[in-house]
Each structure stands twice: as structure tokens, then as C-alpha cells.
Structure 1
Amino acid sequence: MDPDMVTAVAAVVVALGSLWVSYTQARDSRRHSRQSVRPMLHMRRVKEYEGTEAGLNVINAGLGPAIVTSSVVRLDGEVIGQWDYHTQQRILGLGLLPTRPKAHSLRPGAVVLAGQSTFLLSVDEFSDDQHGWFWDLVTRRLMIEVRYESLYGGENFVVTPPVF
């Protein structure tokens, strides 16, 4: 093999290596960019102590906004709709509730900002004696599943409250 051929082969190998490094770096950069704006919704039942707000809380602990794509509400295991005004009225208008809880809708297209925390259903000044029915509703009877995605879309993330 003459020196010109060795130089040419070496140049091709270096060029291919450079192309591979560039490709992997671009792929990793795209992956990092997607992760840097990934939302991470957590749903929890909150009852800290008497006299405070209690209920079903959603928190975006991620770095980017969560865009709600859909939700499913189950009451006593039966699907009754999405978490919107009409479903809330069905739940809160059952006639069984002595106090009217506050409700916050999460319709498709709603945005939960990074760091935002909101109660989907809550009562102020919680008391075990007066609001035992509410805690039973939130912990045993009501299940809300929220599907969401990041700004990039297509991930189909899901959050539900923890099962007791």
C-alpha cells in the first residue's frame, strides 16, 4: 500500500468517526432538550391537619408545562366522564354532600405550569367530624385519571392518585 492510499483511508476513517460523533451528539442534545421541558404531574390526597384545606391535589414537579389531553373520572368504579364542569356537577349534585366542595377543572388543552399546585376537589377548614364523607369520597369512591403531554407532544403521560 502506498502512502497516498494510507492517507486517503485514514481521512475516510476520521471523517466517518466525526460524522458518528456529530450524529450521537445531536441525538443526545435533542433527548436532553425534551427532558429539560418534561412535565411530571403527581396527584395526592391531602389532609394534613384540622382546619386546613384538604382534598385531591395535582402538582407539576417537572421542568416544563403539562398540557392535559384527556381525563377519565370514575365514581364507585363507574366511568362518568371527563374532569370538567358537568362531571363535577354530577358528583357534587348527588344530594349526599352536606357541604359544597371547591372544584377545579382540567379540560383537554388545560395547562399545568411547572411548579404549579392546584386542588381538583377540596374543602376549606377540613374537620374529620364534619367532612368524613368528603374524605371517603376522595379516598375510596372517586378516581380521576389525567393524561397529559409536554410541549413536544405525543408522550401520553398518565397520572392517577395513589391507591389506598
Structure 2
Amino acid sequence: MDADMVTAVAAVLVALGSLWVGYTQARDSRRHGRQSVRPLLHMHRVKAYEGTEAGLGIINAGLGPAIVTSSVVRLDGEVVGPWDVHTQQRILDPLPERPKAHSLRPGAVVPAGLSAFLLSLDEFSDNQHGWFWDLVTRRLVVEVRYESLYGGENVMVTPPVF
């Protein structure tokens, strides 16, 4: 093997190494970009003290918006439908007092940092609204599926089990 052949082989190896480094950097950059706009939805129940708003809340603690793909509502273990106006009417109409409700239809966007109630009462009182707290903690389960702007993650959030 002469000097020209050694130089050519070394140049090819350097070029292949550079190609590999460029590819891995581009892949890692794409991965980082996806993570930097990843949403993280969390559901929680809120009951602070007498006379304050109480209910089932949702918060996007991630860095990017969450796009709702679907939702399922279960009342007493039975599927009622998606978390939309029609399902809310079926659940809330028989109640003694009408709570506020916020729908999450497919395609809805939950912006980063948003904290909102899916179902709430403004002036909650343990004595008067025990039926509501029982509904929110034991009877009602809202399951929300969502993804990031990139799509395809199919992440699910439900309220914590009491």
C-alpha cells in the first residue's frame, strides 16, 4: 500500500466519521426539539376551604400545548360518552345544583401553563355540597387522551384514585 492509498482510505474514514457525527447531532436536535414542546397534563381534585371554588381541575405542566384527541367519561363505572356538552347535560341535569363545566372536544388545545376546572362549584360548602364532592371523587372519571404538536404520542390522563 503506497502513501496515496493510505491518504485516500484515511480521507474516506474521516468523511464517514463526519457523516455519522452530523447524523447523530441532527437526530438529537430533533429529539430535543420534540421534548421542548412536550405537554404534560395533570388532573387533580381541588377543595381548599369553605366558600372557595372546588372541583375537578386540569393543568398543563409541560412546555408545549396539548392537543386533545379523545375523552371518555365514566359515571359509576359505566361509559357515558366523551367529555362534551351532551355528556355533561346527561350527568349534570339530575343534580340538585348545576356546576360549571368546561368541555374538551377532540382537537381542543390546552395551552402550556393553563390551569382550569373541568367541573366546579364556585362557593363550595361541605355541608351543602357533599353530593358534588362524592361525584368528583368517587363516581365520575374523566379520561383525556392527548398529544403534542408533533402527534403520535397518544398520552392519557385521568384523575388520581382516592
Alignment partners' CA distance in 2, 1:28 and 1:108 = 31
What's the CA shift string for 1:24-47, capped at 9, x where partnerless?
Answer: 000000001111111110000111
1:146 maps onto 2:144 in alignment: yes
Give unmatched runs, 5+ long, in structure 2.
none
Partner Cα distance (2:155, 2:55) in 1? 23
TM-score scaled to structure 2, two decimals?
A: 0.98
- Offset of 1:51 from its aligned partner? 1.2
Structure 2 Cα separation of the partners of residues 152 and 144 of structure 1: 24
**Residue by residue, what CA displacement relative to the aligned partner does 1:64-115 show, whole Å, maximum 9, x if unpaired?**
1111010000000000000000000000012xx2221000000001110000
Paired letter, 1:160: T
- Counterpart Cα distance in 1 of 2:39 and 2:151: 11
Question: Within 5 A, what are the aligned runs for 1:33-48?
Answer: 33-48=33-48
Report the TM-score, using the length of structure 1 for normalisation.
Answer: 0.97
How far residue 60 of structure 1 moved from its aligned partner, in angstroms, is: 0.4
Name the residue aligned to 1:51. 51
Structure 1 gaps, min length 5: none
Instruction: Please state how far the C-alpha of 1:147 moved relative to its aligned partner.
Output: 0.4
Instruction: Return the letter of the residue paired with 1:46.
Output: V
**What one-letter code is carried by the residue in structure 2 that aligns with 1:18?**
S
Say whether 1:80 aligns with 2:80: yes
C-alpha distance in 1 between matches for 2:18 and 2:40:
36
| Equivalent in the alignment of 1:116 | 114
Summarize deviations over 1:143-164 as a string: whole Å, max 9, x none. 0000011111111011000011
1:103 partner letter: A
The ranges of structure 1 where at least 4 consecutive aligned residues each deviate by more than 6 angstroms after the TM superposition are none
CA RMSD of aligned residues (A): 0.7
User: Per-residue CA shift, 1:108-161, capped at 9, x if unaligned?
Assistant: 011100001110000011111111110000000000000011111111011000
Secondary structure of 2:128's match? Answer: helix
C-alpha separation in 1, matches of 2:111 and 2:30: 22
2:156 pairs with one of 155, 158, 164: 158
